[in-house]
Amino acid sequence: MGVVIGSEEWELKSYLCIFLFCASLCSLTLFPYFSKNSNRTTGLFDPSSVPAAFLRFQRSFLLVYSLASVMEGLKSAVGEFEYASYGISREQIVSSLCIGSASSLLIGSSLGIFGDLIGQKKTCLLFCILHLFVGIWKKLTMHPGVWVPSIFLSLASSIFSFGLETWMVAEHEKLGHRQDFLCDTFWLMAFSESASHIGSQVLANWFVGHSVEKRFVFPSTAAIFLAMICLIYITREWKESPRIAAIGSYKMSFSACILGDKRIWLLAWAQACLQFSIMVFWILWAPTIVADGREVRLGMIYPCFMGARMLGSTSVPWFTSGPSPVRIEDYLLFAFIVSAFVLSIVAYDYQEIGVLVTLFCVFHACVGLILPSLARLRTIYVPNELRGGMISLSSAPANAAMVFVLIQGGYKQNLGNATIMAFAALGLVTAAGCMYSLKWGKQPHQNWHKL
């Protein structure tokens, strides 16, 4: 959605982008000063207090995670425009989205369990292979197609949602690094992912600027190149035990620790509601802004959303590591309420473009805060050996809801955009309820809230 070519009447002021990035920079640079009386200082600002082995591990992982994020961002940046340039109809585009969501529901939901059994390193290699295959497919066929890219890229996105995080957490624990350093890695993941998506949009626009005949050969080449780099690096540098867990023992552990724990059900539902709201946003934000024939330079708005998400991710250490740390469930409760309120405003009433952009930036700031915080909660409640299965299964309700929305709203036209946005807002309200219930539920033995 980052690539838009056409005339424009309303143009975003550049000072908004500058403000967001300056605010993110200030959040990063001022934190050490205001948190100097805290029990710990995040390793990003005081490398001398962090073991060199951990810094090497963290930077190595973030490098691969950023490259993987660029691959995911390239898919989003050129997706719909690529289809339209080849004359693919709206119905076929909706069909491709349905196919992708159905693939994530039917196959992607079990990939996490598959990764837990064979090892997350192999699952991450599969992520790279899927992107490599789609890139080669597009170069050979010179046509984006519908079925094959949608299925393979949807499965790759499913793996991206759990594979790299799960490998990192397991390896972090195996190497014996401090758990509070892991918390820093989570928000740096969200920060680098947003920055990588901005970079992928820049790459996509630069590639599309080439000759008409070859405009989409270049993004495919970039995807192939990045996938090969990740494949080689993961194969050579990442370590993992080659053993395969016994299916029987895994099933018993999963049933007892995941399916039998109410707290994990609450956490999974909150994750599903957030994922659904993000998917709804990326489908509806452009039609909402250009409603009633308004012409907007959408490609300039996309970086603002990512900048807002970067700002939200930098606020995580302020909540958790400052002089007065806040419990994760407490600030997540308010973050979910704010994001639900923002989407409900958009669903309820017609807004000017400037107001819509502001509301959407607030939503993404909340997303930047929520994503790493949910990762921290998963580390508190979910055993590492079951983490991938829990994350992938928690995405099943979101994908099922997305299939329903696409069929009813895209094909049958029974649901309007406002109604779909209202469903997403309602889901975020229930996610806030989950955080409230989790806050007052039985606490785990690991008291991470004070880290």
Q: What is the pLDDT of residues 17-38, one digit of tens each?
A: 777 777 877 877 777 666 654 4
**What whole-number distance in Å separates Cα of residue 370 and Cα of residue 316?**
9
The predicted pLDDT at position 143 comes to 61
268 vs 248, residue with greater confidence: 268
**pLDDT for residue 408:** 87
Give the residue, 450 or 169, on which the prediction is more confident.
169
163-167, 294-298, 383-387: lowest mean pLDDT where? 294-298
Rounded alpha-carbon distances, angstroms, from residue 302 to 194, 195, 306: 11, 12, 7
> What average pLDDT score do residues 178-188 get?
88
Count the neighbouring beta carbons within 10 Å of the beta carbon of residue 176.
9
* pLDDT at 227 (0 to 100): 94
Q: What is the pLDDT of residue 37?
A: 46
- Give me the torsion for CA of 309, 396, 423, 357, rounded to 10°: 20
Residue 13, classed as helix, strand or coil, is coil
Q: Are 9 and 294 in contact (CB under 8 A)?
A: yes
SS3 content of the chain, % helix, strand, coil (to 5): 80, 0, 20
The single-letter DSSP state of residue 41 is -
Question: How would residue 2 be classed by pLDDT, with cut points 50, 70 and 90?
Answer: very low
Give the pLDDT confidence score for residue 83 in this predicted structure. 65
Q: Can you tell me which residue has the tokens 């050129």?
A: 78
Angle between helices 387-394 and 396-405 (to 10 degrees): 20
Structure confidence at residue 191 (pLDDT): 93
Topology of the domain covering 14-33+60-450 = Growth Hormone; Chain: A; (1.20.1250)
The predicted pLDDT at position 166 comes to 93
The answer to whether the pTM exceeds 0.85 is: yes
Q: What are phi and psi of 326, to 5 degrees?
A: -110, 140
- The beta strand positions in 144-232, using DSSP E, are none
Instruction: Categorize the per-residue pLDDT at 5 as very low, low, confident or very high, splitting at 50, 70 and 90.
Output: very low
Report the alpha-carbon distance of residue 92 to residue 142 in Å, rounded. Answer: 18
Average pLDDT over residues 295-315: 85
The mean pLDDT of 142-157, rounded to a whole number, is 80
Write the DSSP assignment of 220-277 as a string of letters: HHHHHHHHHHHHHHHHHH---------HHHHHHHHIIIIIT-HHHHHHHHHHHHHHHH
What is the average pLDDT across 3-12?
Answer: 50
Q: Provide φ and ψ at 296, rounded to 5°.
A: -135, 150
Q: Which residue did the predictor score with more confidence, 84 or 251?
A: 251
Residue % of the chain over a pLDDT of 90: 42
pLDDT at 445: 46
Per-residue pLDDT tens for 42-63? 445 555 567 888 889 999 999 9
Mean pLDDT of 278-285: 91
10 forms beta bridges with 296
Q: What percent of the chain has pLDDT over 70?
A: 80
User: Which tens digit of pLDDT belongs to each residue from 204-257?
Assistant: 776 665 544 445 556 778 889 999 999 999 999 898 765 555 788 888 888 888
* DSSP assignment string, 78-108: HHHHHHHHTT--HHHHHHHHHHHHHHIIIII
Q: What is the pLDDT of residues 121-131, one digit of tens each?
A: 999 999 999 99
Closest CA to 274 of 195, 343, 325, 200: 343
Q: Take residue 359 and report the two structure tokens written for it.
A: 């509301």
- In the three-class reduction of DSSP (H, G, I as helix; E, B as strand; rest coil), residue 25 is classed as helix
Burial of 324 (0-12, 13-18, 19+ CB in 10 A): exposed
Ramachandran area for residue 293 (φ above 0: left; ψ -120 to 50: alpha; else beta): left
Backbone angles phi, psi at 147, to 5 degrees: -70, -60
Confidence at residue 92, expressed as pLDDT on a 0 to 100 scale: 75
All residues at 6 or more sequence positions from 421 whose CB lies less than 8 Å from its CB, including other chains:
280, 284, 288, 343, 344, 346, 347
Q: Cβ neighbours of residue 38 under 8 Å, at least 6 residues apart?
A: 321, 322, 323, 325
- What's the pLDDT at 231? 95
pLDDT at 189 over 90: yes
Q: Would you say residue 396 has pLDDT above 50?
A: yes
pLDDT of residue 360: 93
Lowest-confidence pick of 20-24, 178-182, 385-389:
20-24
Question: Hey, where are the domains in the chain?
Answer: 14-33+60-450
